[in-house]
Structure 1
Amino acid sequence: MDKSLKLAAFLLLPGLSTAALHSTVVETKYGAVQGYPAFTSEPSSNLTHWRDITTWKGIPFAATTGGQNRFKEPQPLNPWNGTLDASSWGSVCPTATSGSNNYTIDEDCLNLNIWSPANSTNAKLPVVMWSYPAGSTAADGLFDGGGMADKGIVYVNYNYRAGSFGWLSHPELTTEFQQVSGSNSSGNWAMLDQFAALKWIHENIAAFGGDPEHITVMGQSAGSAATQHILNSPLTKGLIAGAIIESGVRDPQDPMCTSVAENYITLDDSELQGIEYLASLNVSTIAEARELPMEDLISGTSPIGSSSQWSFTATLDYYAMPDTYYNTLIKGLAHNVPVITGNAKDENGATFNLSITVSEYLADMNETFSGEWLDRFLELYPANDSITARGAYDSQWTERSTVGTWMWAQLWSKARTAPVYTYLWDHAPPGTDQGAYHESEINYVHNNLYDTDLPWESVDYVIADRMNSYWANFIKTGDPNGVDSNGERLVEWAATDSSQVVQHLGDGWGEMPIASKDKVNLFGEWFATLPYY
């Protein structure tokens, strides 16, 4: 079926609106694109405007990253002739977990997807750009944008490189990139992908009913690192109105910074790893590495924290990344825009329903703390049997996150005036046994329970509407407060200040202490003895 017949078939389905942009050929700076109705029937979630939502899939925002473009900044896109049929996902980038038969895996993967509720290209609706966590793709149903678009927001997600494809640094690459940028830098190709997607959105989103001057960037885990890179970088100055960093930021003296999303390494270390990595592939030059089959490089896609010997991550290059995270905070180098950031209860060390003995708990604490610090932490997180050991173990990890995020906000406020809103998410999705695990808030934030196969209960739909309403309000105004989709006022969420509180989201709503004052003070004293990251 050709694209015109396919579109006509869609529009003849009962209940579909013809006033939306489904029936409009959208003109971008690179060529025309044809979108399609996001829904052909009413989804299970309580979406009010589902008939109006148009989606465009697989729109390229840069040239292929394969061949001679491998290990380079994203290259300019050549305009296309005719109208691009945007009904199917584009290829996804090679990652450690992208072996699914549902997608085409290819290095020509820099493409994006858009969901818009606009009925006119002149709508100027607020825009959000989503960056996915490690090992994911923009085509994952977990990141479907229909629920966000239902709130009057143009939602965009995109693919970006990972592993060696996205982060390989090498002396040859540094010399090559210096000739292009004037910067002694290499390795941040994924970061530059993220920036290129944002710049494409800024240049083109008005044609999809979005406001290019009102873009909020949002992501979770590795996607939160992408969001933080955009928030901090001078290369994205003036392009964003806000940032949502889920799982999340922490105090730059917390040693966890070296193993979670904020991880980065120096240019010297990054180049040395690049030399060693090429040797492991039995090549010694970048020219040879660019000739290798894509499959030979998959070994370098494993994310931070995996068992891989390779640690491909951001490079502190003083170009895309302007400085260390600590210096970026205290010097006020980040964009002065509102921020939401927070954590899930059962992540970053905290493990729901963990089976652990007292001796195992003590051994773990001894690995982290020593001497006086060990005694002081055990005094505040005591354990005398497996039950109390499990509780103490989880509490010290969860509170380390909430305290660290609060301390990050305190540093932010020293050089920035825009507010930070912090949260702790604690709702466990049904049909799982991991508690409020890493990524568990994503469905609720997006209000897209319809696209994930879990035994959702009525309470989940209520929570999803409230979470999505907070996020949508923030995307629209820079403030999460307001009303939900029923017009009921949400529980007040105050911007983070010196009060040692965090917003409780999920199984409760409203302020809660980040930890007891003694614990907050202890974490602060311990962090103060450690190097800045």
Structure 2
Amino acid sequence: MAQLASAALYETVIHTQYGSIQGYPAFNSSPTGNLTHWKDITVWKGIPFAATTAGQNRFREPQPASAWNKTLDAREWGPVCPQATSGQTGFTIDEDCLNLNIWSAANSTDAKLPVVMWSYPAESTAADPLFDGGGMADKGIVFVNYNYRTGAFGWLAHPELSEEFYQVTGSNSSGNWAMLDQFAALKWIHENIAAFGGDPDHITVQGQSAGSAATQHILNSPLTAGLIVGAIIESGVRDPQDPMCATVAENYKTLSYKLNQGVEYLASLNLTTIAELRALPMEDLVSSGTANSAGWTAGLDYYAMPDTYYNTLIHGLAHNVPVITGNAKDENGATWNLSITLTEYLADMNETFYASGDDGHWLDDFLDVYWANDSRTAAAAYNLQWDDRSTIGTWMWAQMWYTARTAPVYTYFWDHAPPGEDRGAYHESEINYVLNNLYDTDLPWEAIDYVIADKMNSYWVNFAKTGNPNGLDANGDPLVEWPATSDSEVVQRVGNAWGPIAVASETDPKAKIKLFQDWFAVQPKF
């Protein structure tokens, strides 16, 4: 490909193997915040990375996109997948939804800038302002986000579908269509991102919540071997013997469970064949109210997903690349400004930790460590044990990673509450800061928020560039050292303060770590 002159890429037409594309300036004026190269940032929206998923392509692995003859005008967002918006308005919902968006400040197609592929959390879409990529592009990253199928559209398994899939892949399985969408987007990026100034051999995958599950599947799958150099898994991994693994975003079901679920799903619609299901209008599936129930999730197919999380860790099946992973303070059970009675607290602890046959000793052990004697101490103890469960579980995941992998893991604990909210450091609250896009979210940001965004984004950008979050911030000042996770029982605090802290809360952290280690050890392996 002939090299372009040094200029913003929106000033020319980009050529890919599928056809030519015209991008546009990401900003018409200077955004509020930490951006200095905003005039150079080009955005391309709605680029197809696969064919429509309607008709005979419904409940099938993503099919190759068709080439186009005219220059693709990439000014507008592409359609989003059915059920992706959960009641949001302003988007075109269509099964022809496998498209992606690219932000790049490259001034030539041979810039070979590091690439980040972002996977969004549940009930979202790539067009959500929360995932705007301009802040990352400003720091020399080519940022890509994309749409993928969800609900039944993304996760339906059925014996008929397994027979079809076997003919194509040799795997007698079905139901991980969303996961295969995610893999297809990554492969498209690898094959085409050089035209947008990106380095196809330097792709870091990143996501939060359900997007962290997507990122973990990319990290683990043999189908993505050689395509990534790092993974950022926000609010995702935990010890695979934590019972919460069965309910949080990265949960999965056995293939037999999913096949039975698929048969029951067709019966609920008074259908008997996949051909009948494919013939239904998209609106009929959406309006049935069953296409996006909470039960639709990934399946252990030993194809896209190679093994259980436990076996993947101890046998070293995941790609040996650096990882950032961590948790927010007010998520996964912990609740900011919690009001709870002592009776409610004791009942919750009893439900969580009492097991028949053990004489209740786990409950007694946890109440000894997370004690309470009134509503005030009950609220504090309740939140502490949920926070500790997350941070300890993530730290233990890292220890298991090191049994068969050598690439470093960096773990964090985010504790800053955005302004104008009453949820504390809630689930998803770090996203604006790590993506450096406060300009695109309508919150009453304060000066400290821009300072925090600069530091958080700098850690993430450094990692995307080098595999190590440490180095300088955007002003050229050294960041507080973030040590790779080791057998030292610490996690990096980020947000309201910076630096290593104990993995468990302050009072007797070693006892708390030991208690969770012992309790996890007797739980089923996920």
Residue 472 (str. 1) matches residue 456 (str. 2): no
Q: Which residue of the partner structure matches residue 493 of structure 1?
A: 482
Q: Which residue of the partner structure matches residue 124 of structure 1?
A: 112
User: Is contact 2:84-2:124 (8 Å) kept?
Assistant: no
Q: Which residue of the partner structure matches residue 233 of structure 1?
A: 221
Residue 217 (str. 1) matches residue 205 (str. 2): yes
- More off after superposition, 90-99 vs 57-66: 90-99
Q: Which residue of the partner structure matches residue 529 of structure 1?
A: 522
- For structure 1, which runs of at least 5 residues remain unmatched after alignment? 1-16, 303-307
- For structure 2, which runs of at least 5 residues remain unmatched after alignment? 355-359
- Give, as a single letter, the amino acid of the residue that structure 1 aligns with 2:17: K
Residue 284 (str. 1) matches residue 272 (str. 2): yes
User: Is contact 1:300-1:312 (8 Å) kept?
Assistant: no
**CA deviation profile, 1:377-407 (whole Å, cap 9, x unmatched):** 0011011111111111111001100000000
Instruction: Give the secondary structure class of the aligned counterpart of 2:126.
Output: coil
Q: Counterparts of 2:291 and 2:483 in 1: how far apart (Å)?
A: 40
Q: Which residue of the partner structure matches residue 320 of structure 2?
A: 336
1:117-196 equivalent positions in 2, closer than 5 A: 117-196=105-184
Q: Counterparts of 2:6 and 2:405 in 1: how far apart (Å)?
A: 45
Q: Which residue of the partner structure matches residue 5 of structure 1?
A: none
Residue 244 (str. 1) matches residue 232 (str. 2): yes
Q: Counterparts of 1:296 and 1:187 in 2: how far apart (Å)?
A: 20
Residue 319 (str. 1) matches residue 309 (str. 2): no
Q: Which residue of the partner structure matches residue 9 of structure 2?
A: 21
1:193-212 equivalent positions in 2, closer than 5 A: 193-212=181-200
Q: Counterparts of 2:384 and 2:326 in 1: how far apart (Å)?
A: 16
**CA deviation profile, 1:89-135 (whole Å, cap 9, x unmatched):** 00000126443331100000000000001000000000000000000
Residue 393 (str. 1) matches residue 382 (str. 2): yes
Equivalent position to 1:275, from 263, 270, 276 = 263
Deviation of 1:295 after TM superposition, in Å, equals: 2.2
Q: Please give the TM-score of this superposition, normalised by the length of structure 1.
A: 0.95
Instruction: Give the secondary structure class of the aligned counterpart of 2:403.
Output: helix
Q: Which residue of the partner structure matches residue 252 of structure 2?
A: 264
Deviation of 1:301 after TM superposition, in Å, equals: 4.4
Q: Which residue of the partner structure matches residue 285 of structure 2?
A: 297
Q: Counterparts of 2:87 and 2:378 in 1: how far apart (Å)?
A: 38
- Give, as a single letter, the amino acid of the residue that structure 2 aligns with 1:29: Q
- Give, as a single letter, the amino acid of the residue that structure 1 aligns with 2:511: D
Q: Counterparts of 1:442 and 1:381 in 2: how far apart (Å)?
A: 31
Q: Please give the TM-score of this superposition, normalised by the length of structure 2.
A: 0.96
User: Is contact 1:130-1:155 (8 Å) kept?
Assistant: yes
Q: Which residue of the partner structure matches residue 365 of structure 1?
A: 349
- More off after superposition, 240-249 vs 97-106: 97-106
Residue 84 (str. 1) matches residue 72 (str. 2): yes
Q: Counterparts of 1:450 and 1:18 in 2: how far apart (Å)?
A: 27
Q: Counterparts of 1:429 and 1:354 in 2: how far apart (Å)?
A: 17
User: Is contact 1:98-1:105 (8 Å) kept?
Assistant: no
Q: Counterparts of 2:406 and 2:129 in 1: how far apart (Å)?
A: 36
Q: Counterparts of 1:328 and 1:477 in 2: how far apart (Å)?
A: 25
Instruction: Give the secondary structure class of the aligned counterpart of 1:414.
Output: coil
- More off after superposition, 287-296 vs 477-486: 287-296
- Give, as a single letter, the amino acid of the residue that structure 2 aligns with 1:457: E
User: Is contact 2:97-2:147 (8 Å) kept?
Assistant: yes
Q: Which residue of the partner structure matches residue 340 of structure 2?
A: 356
Residue 519 (str. 1) matches residue 503 (str. 2): no
Equivalent position to 1:502, from 480, 487, 491 = 491
Distance 1:96 1:23, change over 3 A: closer
Between the aligned residues of both structures, percent identity stands at 76
Q: Counterparts of 1:455 and 1:376 in 2: how far apart (Å)?
A: 44
Equivalent position to 2:395, from 406, 414, 419 = 406
- Give, as a single letter, the amino acid of the residue that structure 1 aligns with 2:497: G
Q: Counterparts of 2:484 and 2:329 in 1: how far apart (Å)?
A: 20
- Give, as a single letter, the amino acid of the residue that structure 1 aligns with 2:405: R
Q: Counterparts of 1:311 and 1:356 in 2: how far apart (Å)?
A: 29
Instruction: Give the secondary structure class of the aligned counterpart of 1:130.
Output: strand
User: Is contact 1:96-1:301 (8 Å) kept?
Assistant: no
- Give, as a single letter, the amino acid of the residue that structure 2 aligns with 1:465: D
Q: Which residue of the partner structure matches residue 357 of structure 2?
A: none
User: Is contact 1:168-1:274 (8 Å) kept?
Assistant: yes
Q: Counterparts of 1:224 and 1:296 in 2: how far apart (Å)?
A: 30
Q: What is the number of residues matched between the two proteins?
A: 511
User: Is contact 2:412-2:491 (8 Å) kept?
Assistant: yes
Q: Counterparts of 2:487 and 2:171 in 1: how far apart (Å)?
A: 39
- Give, as a single letter, the amino acid of the residue that structure 1 aligns with 2:76: S
Deviation of 1:18 after TM superposition, in Å, equals: 8.7
Q: Which residue of the partner structure matches residue 11 of structure 1?
A: none
Q: Which residue of the partner structure matches residue 59 of structure 1?
A: 47
